[in-house]
A = this chain, B = another copy of it.
């Protein structure tokens, strides 16, 4: 049976977020979260004051095509914009495929939305989050250190960022006295 890839071992460095051998790297800054943050004035200030990196995704060299199972490590830096914790842009899959997140370092919240309902799942070292097919997903870092997780998804899953930008995730992860809370998204 033909395959695009050969077997290989990949080092997953929980301390740095590096994957070796390494595929594409994606870096997202505050400016890449345009339209996604509730407090637009705070977002604008953050862009104007250094526009820091919010998260980085280091992928293994596995192509996003049918039959392959790409994987990557995402590192979300600690921080917030207004009251909203640093987070990924969030996406839905373009095909009805699930995804698995495995927490490596730090503490995060996986937000999910199926078009009607929002759910939140807390992740940390040794805790996996299951994204069923049909659920858009976003992660936020709710602690003072980097939050890092392994993601595994079928090569045909695809990434639809527009759906999340248009309709939101139904909820937001914001600072609270005891760490974080998940609040309904008032823009809905």
Contact = CB atoms under 8 A, between A and B. Distances in A.
A134 B5 CA distance: 10
A60 B152 CA distance: 15
A10 B121 CA distance: 10
A80 interface: no
Most buried by B among A9, A10, A11: A9
A92 B141 CA distance: 38
Given A99-B69, A100-B69, A154-B69, A7 B126 contact: no
B152 A11 contact: no
A115 interface: yes
A contact residues, range: 35 or more
Contacts of A13: 126
Interface string A133-174: 111000000000000001011110000000000000000000
Contacts of A96: 1, 3, 66-67
Given A11-B126, A96-B1, A126-B13, A102 B132 contact: no
Nearest to A121: B9
A38 interface: no
10 contacts: A6-B119, A6-B132, A8-B129, A9-B121, A10-B130, A12-B128, A67-B96, A69-B98, A98-B155, A100-B152
Given A11-B128, A69-B97, 7 more contacts: A1-B114, A1-B134, A3-B135, A5-B132, A7-B132, A14-B126, A97-B154
